[in-house]
Structure 1
């Protein structure tokens, strides 16, 4: 099976991003939203990015509007919100679907490799997190209520 870093995603501007750019990095991939009760987790994600980025962590955010319409903005509005509200410096990609027939292939793969509780595949809400090791293998899935700082020990173990 191919590594997560063999896939391609869309940048916020619609351009193609080859995830091989992140080969050899530990990745924390998160579906995000600007108007969610978990939105303040952007602050914790940014803290992880700043703390571990130089050691090989890459936080990758994928906005999603599938949960309560909590990410209604376009790419410019999302980028502006992330920058002005949380001083986000990690990549925020194009808005995607994470569930259903139009689910982005990256998230289809993440869900396949790391099912949720009781083997469920669907993502239940915004700020579900996936930790990927340096070889591009999904190590763990975290629910939305898991705070970014609670993932730090697992990240350190992989760096």
Structure 2
């Protein structure tokens, strides 16, 4: 199983699968607009701008499970991201990333890349998962990890992208 097997909904409400991202290095992030880490949208966009034409993308999944820090609807989230951070990377509909209603994608991600001390639960917004071009989870990064710090790992994986 890989990330390509999961159905998701775009921020515009269109159902799709992640198979659109086959043979790309992907960084999946659970996001929030009113979080202390929200400034990471800027760095995520910088990564997307720098590596997007080399076979890399960022996928943002808004989540309101952490102190209600993503209260808006999809339209408000999309507008906020575009206006405040110039986000052009793909964003998806708001989902749960933990608990009994967790989206199956995030169950897969956390099972394949547990956090510190083997914990599977996502503890906060802006947890990041780096995905190999074959759709397998390579690494999990904490919310404290600035996206720019992930550059060496992205560059290493980009060497395997078939152009």
* Large movers: runs of 4+ above 6 Å: none
CA distance in 2, matches of 1:56, 1:6: 19
The count of corresponding residues between Structure 1 and Structure 2 is 158
- CA shift, 1:137, in A, is 0.6
Structure 1: where are the runs of 5+ without partners? none
Shift of 1:14: 2.2
Deviation at 1:13, TM superposition (A): 2.4
1:8-87 to structure 2, matched below 5 A, reads 8-87=7-86
TM score, norm. by length of structure 1: 0.98
Alignment of 1:81-100 (within 5 A): 81-100=80-99
Name the counterpart of 2:129: 130
Unaligned runs of 5+ in 2: 159-163
Deviation at 1:157?
0.2
Secondary structure at the counterpart of residue 157 of structure 1: helix
SS of the equivalent of 2:8 reads: strand
Aligned residue number for residue 161 of structure 2: none
